[in-house]
Each structure stands twice: as structure tokens, then as C-alpha cells.
Structure 1
Amino acid sequence: MSLSIGHPTPQSSAMTPPSWHACVRSSDVDLHASAQPQWSLNYDQLSPGRFDGHIELVQLPGLRMIREGANCKVRQRGQIGRGHYGLAMALQQDHEAIFNGQRLGTESIMIGRSDELDLLTPADCELIGVVVEHELLAALWQSMYQKPLSAWIEEQIVVQASTASARHLDKMHRRILDLLSSSPELLNDPVALLQLRDAILIEWIEAIPSQVDTSELRRVEARKKVVDRACECMLAHADQPLSTLDVCSRIGTSPRKLDYCFNDVLGISPKRYLRLVRLNGVRRDLKSRAHEARIKVQDIAARWGFWHLSEFSRDYSAQFGELPSQTLRSAQV
């Protein structure tokens, strides 16, 4: 990668926010989600054990670099900056990561608007990526290809990079993060930052294949729509969990199709997924309501449809590595 690429892409007229570099280590999935400034994300932990995650972020003018990983399987949803687009790649995983219902290979690139993120990553998976302002991406795209942004950029799509491009992106991210760690004074050099930013974005753009196939997107979206409607229905009755037949009746599908869509889009059965989401809901409430007077574990558990306290405590402990009472006490400190 060359950092000297000529004249940097012009900035918008809006005031450019300060550049910064941050590293965060977290032992709680919700703290992990909230450690990403200006983004609104919700993470659900889908595999058992104590959570251990790390995030490294670099904010440059109009672009944010990210490298993150966790020891647990996680589904993350939300938005990472309106008016932005994301390009990312999941490392160290084998077709278990799923982006908006599309399975990822080790050299797949996720691309799309940043206001509809839905990503499932397996345990011990690392993610690298950039989130870029539309204006900057459009200007650089026009400069490189002498044409406007391709229409498919408005979709949520997975494309396959070459092995060489994928390895180069990974190495580039490592080099830049190491560079800014060892030379933080670069964050105060506006010209160097703009050149660095453009070099990073050019590498990502050039890794995108020349032909992008969108023929499967409508079918993927249809399956994901079934999952989203089912999740909305199930969570609306979290205190009285619906049976699979009830859910199917309410959203107008068959049990077989529902199970197929969940396994295809999320890699998990609807019954198992709902239980995990409810356990995450209990954990979130235990922490957010810890300072309410006379708050009790059983009250919050019941709110999420767990009526048998001993069975609930066993499942909660297996999922998060601690008893629900420990979560509550820790949040009260």
C-alpha cells in the first residue's frame, strides 16, 4: 500500500470531526456494543460462556476503520451511521458468518448501507471493515471509474474477493493500526490523514470484483422477511412464549418453512433462537434495572417468560458464565 496517492479527495463543507484511535476490551456483550461511538447497535450473545471481546477503531475524516472480535457467537443489528456505507470482511471463520441472510466465505466482502446492519459472527471470528460517508465514497468511485456509484451499493450484498485481495486487506489493516499505535502524532497531521484515508478506501474499492451478481438477493430477502416477522411476533409475546404453530399462524407460514428460514438466515432453530434472545433480554434488564427499589431476579425472569426459576438459573449460568443474581449484584455496585 502506498500512502502517497496525489491530491486527497476533497472534504465536504461540514466541519470535519477530530480523528482518533481507540482500543477497547470488554467482558460484557452490551458494553462491547456501546463502545462504538455514534453507532446504535444491539448485540445478542448466542453461544455459551463468559464474553470476551475486543474492538479497535480509527476515526479518519469521513471514514472509520474497525477491527473487532469476540470469543462468542454474536448477532449484531442496528445502524452504523446514517448516510454511510459499510465494507467489511469476516476473518478466521468457515461459512458460519451470515450477513443479512447471506453466508460468508473467508474471502467474502460485505457491502451495503449502514442503516440496516444484521450480522451473525461465529465464536472466535475477527472482523475488519470501514464505514464511509456516501459523499466520500461517491467522489472516489467517480474518480476511479469515471461513473457514478453502482446501483447495487444500495443493497446489502456479499461479494467474493480474490485470495490476494483478501490477504492484502487484512495486512493493510494490521499495518495501519500498528502505525497509528506507534505514531499517534499522525492523527494531528491533516494532510497525512487524508492521504491515509483515501489509500484505505481505494484498497477496499479495488477488492470488489468487476461483476456483482444480485440475482439471489430477492430470494434471500424473502427468507429474511419471514425470520424478521417471526422474531417481531415472538418478542411481542416474550412473557408468554408462543408455540411454533402459534407463530406460524400469526405470520402465515408453515412450521417447515419457518424452521428452514431460521436455519438458513441465522443458522439456528426458531425455538432455540427465541430462548437465547430472552436470556439476553433478562441479562440486559438485570443490569439496566439494578438500582430500582426491591428489584428481584424472579420478577425480571418472569417478564421474559421464565417461570421455573431453578431451570432458568441453570440455563442463564450456562449461557453467561454466572448466576443471574451475580449479574444483578455486579450492576448494583
Structure 2
Amino acid sequence: MSVSPDRHAPGSVVQSSAVANMSFRATVQNGTDADQLAEALSTPRSTIRVSTEGTMPIAYRCNFISMEDVSVADCSYEGRIFCKREGVADKLAMFLPKQGMMWFGGKQEPTYSVPGRGVILEQGSVSGTGIVGPRSHFCLFIDRAKIAAQLSHMCERTISGDVGFHTDIDLTVGPGFLLQQLVSNLHSGLSGNGLLQRSPLAVRSLCDAAVYLLLETCPHHYSEELARAAPLPAPRHVKWAMDFMQEHIAEPISLSEIAMAAKVSVRTLQQGFRQFRNTTPIAYLHEIRMVAAHRELLQLDGTQPIGDIALRWGFTHLGRFAAEYKKRFGQLPSQTVKR
């Protein structure tokens, strides 16, 4: 586990800086009390409970540097520490060990992290963690929204929800080795009077490099799609159709109306979408409406019925909408509203 940038436990030192429109915050937290460690690890949306084994003393020191949507940390622990999460994290977390052992428990068998073996965790994949000190590791945290945005750009379609990264990553060679070096350089370059504080463009480039390195080289659900050749640029009539559907997304438009707006026949339009977007016009319309409904449900305050939201975006059968929504986003519409 690593400290959260959203909480300041006793024994913490916080430094906020802004350089050339780039803001970052460095937080150093240390102590020997389990309750204070729990406070340091918790966030407003996810509480962490910390316990220890017997009378064995513990100690921790975590140096956390938070940027806009990427954070890095250098953490060390002494003793045997057990953590249990209550709630869901909204960031992908990557642990890059330097010393000692740490285990992560969830629905599957525990995953162990030792030097040379890193761990990638997504939302809700782990509920309990154990640290066997002395333990030290680097951490990389990335907002799930940033990952989804960059993956959507790479796939040229909307992506949301967990990416499905493999949990284990080899840190001795290949992308794992590069990621550990990149995180180490980011942390050291932003600590104290590090040189990276004078180069916000370099910081942003390194943060983007970490995300692209994860998406392009670490196995996940979309790896095969990314490995395929990029689609050819869509012709004008496909772009016109996509623009028309976006402009009339909440209206009951037909395939013929879409083809008419694109100035081609229905058959030509269907062939264009199959060839250049690997889908059909109606499936594309269904997708953008589903994403729009998802976006509105995320902002819902609970006073408006879910059925009204579904109907507004063209989904007349609430049961079918809920099933398709869960398949698309990994949860029911009601679960999105309760987040």
C-alpha cells in the first residue's frame, strides 16, 4: 500500500508547488502508529483499516508526489502490517518493489510482490494486503479516466471500465524494467530541488510515456486490438454519418436518414462502416448512446429514475438496457448511481 495524496496524517510534511502551469504536491508521511498509517492510506472514497501482528513494532515512511492525473511514491515499511480496503479505488496502482515481500489478496489466490516482480492492480481487484518488513517499493498511480482516454484514442472508439491488465509484471527485463526506471526517475527528478521541477513538458511526457508503455507492452483485454494494423482513415461519407449521429444522438433517427445525411446509399454506408470502423452504423449509434447514458448516470444525484435516463437516450426496454449496460461497463446502472 502507499499513502494517499488526499489525506495528511500526523507526522506528514506537505509541499505544494507550481512551475510553468504544472502543479504538483509532495507529501512525506512517517510514523510508528497503525491508526495514523490507516489515516494516511485512506481516501474519501476508500477507507483502509490497518492492523499489526502481536506486539511487534511497525514503522513507515512514504514520500508521495502527486501531479494532475499521475502520482509516484517511494515507500518503506518495518514490521508486519495488514491492510483491508473498504470502498473502491479510482486509480490504477502499480507496485515496483526494491526490498522485502508484500502480498495482495482478492477473489483469486494471493499475489506476491518481491524484488523483480511487480504488481498491477485495477479497481476492486484487491481487498486485503500484507506487508512483511523491511519492505520498500516505488508506486505508480494513474487515474482510470486518463487510461481510458488514451486507450480510446489508440483504439479510435470509446473505452471505459477496467482494462484488464495481467496482475504480475516482470521487472528484470522489458517493459517492467523500463517502467521501474521511469518511475524512479520521475520521483527523484521531482523530489527536493530535482531538475524535473524546471521542465513541466518533460514531466508530462514522462507521465504519458508511462501510460503508453503500460497500454502497448503489458498484456490486457485490448492488447490484440492494439496489435492489429490501424484502420484506414474513414472516407467523407462515414465521417458525415458519424457527425450526423452525434448531432442527433437523442432523436429517433433511422438508417435511411443517416445514409441520406451522408449522401450515399444505405448499402454503401454499411460497407463503409464495416471496412473503416469494424462495426455497423446502427451499432455505432447504439454505442454512443450507451456512453451518453453512462455519463449522465455518473452525474445523477439519485432523484431521477434510471428508466427516464434510459428512455432519453433511446433505450425503451429497461431490462435489456441494464443487461447491455453491465456488459459494456462491468456494473448495473443502479451501481453506477450509488458510486
TM-score range, shorter-chain basis?
Answer: 0.3 to 0.5
Q: Specify which structure has the bigger relative contact order, considering alpha-carbon pairs within 8 angstroms and separated by 6 or more residues.
A: 1
Q: Scaled by the length of structure 1, what TM-score is found?
A: 0.48
Tell me which protein shows more strand as a share of its residues.
Answer: 2
Q: Scaled by the length of structure 2, what TM-score is found?
A: 0.47
Tell me which protein shows more helix as a share of its residues.
Answer: 1
Higher CA-based Rg: 2
